[in-house]
Amino acid sequence: MSKKVTKIAVLTSGGDAPGMNAAIRAVVRTGIYYGLEVYGVVRGYNGMIEDDIFKMDSRSVANIIQRGGTILKTARSKEFMSPEGRQKAYANLIKRGIDGLVVVGGNGSFTGALKLHEEFGLPCVGIPGTIDKDLYGTDFTIGFDTAVNTAVEAIDKIRDTADAHDRLFIVEVMGRDAGYIALHSGIATGAEHILIPEEDTSVEEVIAGLSEKEKRKKLVNLIVVAEGHKSGGANHIAEIVKQQLPNLDTKVTILGHLQRGGSPSCIDRLIASRMGYHAVESLLQGRHNVMVGILDNAMKYTPLEIAIREKQRFSDEWLKIVKILAS
Ligand SMILES: Nc1ncnc2c1ncn2[C@@H]1O[C@H](COP(=O)(O)OP(=O)(O)O)[C@@H](O)[C@H]1O
Ligand SMILES: O=P(O)(O)OC[C@H]1O[C@](O)(COP(=O)(O)O)[C@@H](O)[C@@H]1O
Ligand SMILES: [Mg+2]
């Protein structure tokens, strides 16, 4: 039996995602409910190394559930990648008697948490917080729903002006290695082509599709491309399209970081609250070094190394639907 956890810390790390605040609130209030001391670590692993750690109470998370970003701030920490950096970070936890850690972040942040466990035996639990939805073991990651709705709202607006001018728009959305934002926003806005890192669609195939549409006088077209697609992104695709189909009036929009901000959607607030609560329960019940996820509306606990290593599988059905509907 592992020793009972009595003092926990919570941090947000990697790219921020709308709903992270709701997760912090749930961790703090659940921890306090169970009589734990709860500490907040500022700026992810950087704050852990620099001893930027403070005790939280119920009031420290008041009025944040509706706010985007993260009150704990976030960072990508180079120093934490080294054993020396992690040693420094861990020393700042043990001097306060912190014996459990909740990490809200993505695959990189979970890799860091796993290292803390392997090197020092610290019990950790991960909460999936990433707009990219690139984690195995959960149908939801905090921030994805908000980000994809932001993308849809923006692409709808682009569609209006594309239609008014008979233009081709190539819209780049976020997604470093994962195409979920592109797939979901592309389907929801009726995009003619969707390019994602997981699928091997070439720019030549897109050109062939556009050229066929040009012949039948379909000039308004929308391409949604994930930033991580092998083409290198919207600007690269536009260059090739302009060379090969000079009659098309081609424009590029890169949505960028606006997809990471804004007030979280109801779904993101709900899943963040539920995951935050279960993360603390997990630490208390000795279910350590797992990521809390939701699969088929039930809580699912996936060992961190599996959540990091395995890839979510794209449904072939969605890919077929895209091809049929985008004609
Ligand atoms: N292999 C690793 N060892 C230790 N820490 C890591 C490792 N990979 C990532 N991290 C830590 O997690 C942070 C966030 O990772 P990153 O990949 O940028 O974001 P995300 O968690 O959103 O995927 C990194 O800046 C680093 O501090
Ligand atoms: O703004 P940054 O820090 O350069 O990060 C950009 C990356 O962060 C993301 O928004 C989210 O990625 P993570 O969840 O892995 O942090 C990616 O889609 C994007 O490629
Ligand atoms: Mg990541």
Q: Which of 85, 17, 20 is closest to 46 using CA atoms?
A: 85
Q: Which domains does the chain have, with CATH numbers?
A: 7-143+264-309 (3.40.50.450), 145-260 (3.40.50.460)
pLDDT score, position 313: 79
Determine the average pLDDT of the residues in 172-188.
Answer: 96
Gap between the Cα atoms of 219 and 50, Å rounded: 56
Query: Listing from the earlier edge strand, what are the strands of the sheet with 250-254?
Result: 193-195, 221-226, 168-173, 250-254
From 174, 180, 268, the mutation candidate for ligand 2 (largest count of ligand atoms within 8 A of CB) is 174
Ligand 2, atom 19, residue with closest C-alpha: 176
* Residue 12 near residue 72 (C-beta atoms within 8 A): yes
pLDDT score, position 326: 79
Please give the structure tokens belonging to residue 160: 């209006």
Q: Which long-range contacts (CB under 8 A, 24 or more apart) does 201-208 make?
A: 202/231, 203/231, 203/236, 203/237, 203/240, 203/241, 206/237, 206/241, 207/240, 207/241, 207/244, 207/245
Give residues (CB < 6 A) around ligand 1: 13-15, 45, 76-77, 80-81, 105-109, 111-112, 115, 130
Is 27 flagged in the annotation as binding? yes
pLDDT for residue 2 is more than 80: no
Residue 282: which residues within 8 A CB-CB, separation 6 or more?
Answer: 125, 288, 290, 292, 301
Is 179 flagged in the annotation as binding? no
What digits encode the pLDDT tens for the residues 222-265? 999 999 999 999 999 999 999 999 999 999 999 999 999 999 99
Q: 0.80 cut: is pTM over it?
A: yes
34 Rama class: left (phi>0) / alpha (psi -120 to 50) / beta: alpha
Q: Is 95 helix (H, G, I), strand (E, B) or coil?
A: coil
For tokens 């779904």, what's the residue? 267
- Closest-lying ligand 2 atom to the alpha carbon of residue 260: 10
Q: Which long-range contacts (CB under 8 A, 24 or more apart) does 284-288 make?
A: 284/4, 284/5, 284/34, 284/36, 286/1, 286/2, 286/123, 287/125, 288/2, 288/117, 288/123, 288/124, 288/125
User: What band does 45 get if pLDDT is binned at 50, 70 and 90?
Assistant: very high
Q: Counting beta carbons within 10 angstroms of the beta carbon of residue 319, is it exposed (0 to 12), middle (13 to 18) or buried (19 or more)?
A: middle
Ligand nearest to the CA of 17: 2
Gap between the Cα atoms of 214 and 208, Å rounded: 10
What digits encode the pLDDT tens for the residues 255-302? 999 999 999 999 999 999 999 999 999 999 999 999 999 999 999 999
pLDDT score, position 111: 97
Tell me how far the alpha carbon of residue 42 lies from the centroid of ligand 1, in angstroms: 15
ipTM: 0.98
pLDDT score, position 1: 52
End-to-end CA distance of the chain: 59
Q: Counting beta carbons within 10 angstroms of the beta carbon of residue 32, is it exposed (0 to 12), middle (13 to 18) or buried (19 or more)?
A: middle
Residue 168 sits at φ, ψ, to 5 deg, of -95, 125
Gap between the Cα atoms of 159 and 92, Å rounded: 52
Gap between the Cα atoms of 70 and 22, Å rounded: 9
